[in-house]
Amino acid sequence: MERLINFDPQWINDIVITGINIFILFFVMSYFLFNPAREVLEKRRKRIAGDLETAKTSREDALALKAEYEDKIKSIDKEAQEILDAARKKAKKQEADILAEAREEANRIVDRANREIELEKKKALEDMKTEIVSIASLMAEKAVAASMDVKIQDSLIEETLKEMGESTWQS
């Protein structure tokens, strides 16, 4: 028998057996190597997807917390401003109270000084009256003692006035 295209049956048999062995080896290798590698890759893909999801939720949580903290900071700023405004108002009120007290105290001091001045004036007038009475009694003594006429009385009055001083009569 002549060979067709130079294929001999042994060679074809070897090729078929080698092909079957390759397919068997491929299926066995895929079972022992490819499936675990696929499982590892699938686990890794799931883990990465989970990590990405966790990162996304963490980022969203962080943004929410950031917004919350910014709101709190704004409210704290408002509260601090309100506290400062209240303190300023209280300080203004205290300033007004202190000024009012100082004015009242100044008025009391002025009133007391005016009363003391009035008392001093009254005392000076009383002293002047006493002095005038004593001067008048001295004049009467001198007038009686000298039994004088009008000229002598006038000169005595002038002399007494000079002794008292002109400033006494001017007040």
pLDDT score recorded for residue 170: 53
What pTM was computed for the model? 0.39
**Residue 146 placed within a domain:** yes
Q: Does position 165 have pLDDT exceeding 60, yes or no?
A: yes
The answer as to whether 3 is a domain residue is no
Helix (H, G, I), strand (E, B) or coil at 6: coil
Q: Domain count of the chain?
A: 1
Q: Could you list the residue range(s) of the whole structural domain that residue 132 is in?
A: 9-165
Domain assignment present for residue 113? The answer is yes
Banded model confidence at residue 156, pLDDT cuts 50, 70, 90: confident
Give domain status of residue 2, yes or no. Answer: no
Burial state string for 107-124 with b = 16 or more CB within 10 A and e = fewer than 16? eeeeeeeeeeeeeeeeee
In a domain, 171, yes or no: no
Question: pLDDT band at 42, cuts 50/70/90?
Answer: very high
Token pair listed for 141: 């003594």
5-to-2, 12, 13, 125, 159 alpha-carbon distances in Å = 9, 12, 15, 166, 183
For the chain, the maximum distance between any two Cα atoms, rounded to a whole number of angstroms, is 207
**pLDDT tens across 55-95, in order?**
999 999 999 999 999 999 999 999 999 999 999 999 999 99
- Judge whether 65 lies within some domain: yes
Residue 53, both tokens: 């999801």
